[in-house]
Amino acid sequence: MTDCIFCKIISGEIPSEKVYADDLATAFRDLHPVASTHILIVPNKHIPSVNEVTPDDETNVGHLYTVARQLAIQEGIHEKGYRLIVNTGPHAGQEIYHLHLHLIGGQKMRYPMG
C-alpha cells in the first residue's frame, strides 16, 4: 500500500521510534501514548484489519503475539500485566487500516473497556 502510514514506517520512509523489527513484524512507540508503555506491533505484510486475515496469515498474526510477549519483558511490564488491543473497523476506533496490536502497560488499566 503506497499510502499506508504503517507501511511507510516499516520501510523507513517515515521515521519512528522502532523498538523491534524482523522479517515478519515491526514494533514502534505510539506517537500518542495512553500509558507509560504504548507500542504498536504491526505485521510487515499489509493486512488492512482482522476482517482481511486469511489462513495464510496465521504465522504473521501469531508472531505479533510472540513479539508482544518479548517486548513486555523488555519493557519490564510482563509481571504486573499489560493489555493487548486490536481495533477492527470504525465502531472499534480503528484509524489506520493496517492490522496492529497496541501493547499498553506500565500502569493499572481502567475497567470496564468500551
What's the mean pLDDT in 18-37? 97
- Residue 1: per-residue pLDDT: 58
Q: Is residue 25 part of a domain?
A: yes
What's the mean pLDDT in 65-73? 98
**Cα gap 87→80, rounded to integer Å:** 23
**Cα gap 42→16, rounded to integer Å:** 13
Query: How many domains, the chain?
Result: 1
Q: Is residue 113 part of a domain?
A: no
Higher pLDDT pick, 69 / 109: 69
Q: Is residue 11 part of a domain?
A: yes
Task: Give the residue numbers annotated as catalytic, written as ranges.
Answer: 100
**Cα gap 84→72, rounded to integer Å:** 10
Q: Is residue 78 part of a domain?
A: yes
Strand order through the sheet with 101-105: 18-21, 25-29, 37-43, 101-105, 82-85
CATH of the domain at 78: 3.30.428.10
Q: Is residue 110 part of a domain?
A: no
Q: Is residue 100 part of a domain?
A: yes
What's the mean pLDDT in 50-55? 98
Residue 113: pLDDT band with limits 50, 70, 90: confident
**Cα gap 106→41, rounded to integer Å:** 17
Domain span at residue 97? 5-105
Q: Is residue 51 part of a domain?
A: yes
**Cα gap 1→16, rounded to integer Å:** 18
Q: Is residue 111 part of a domain?
A: no
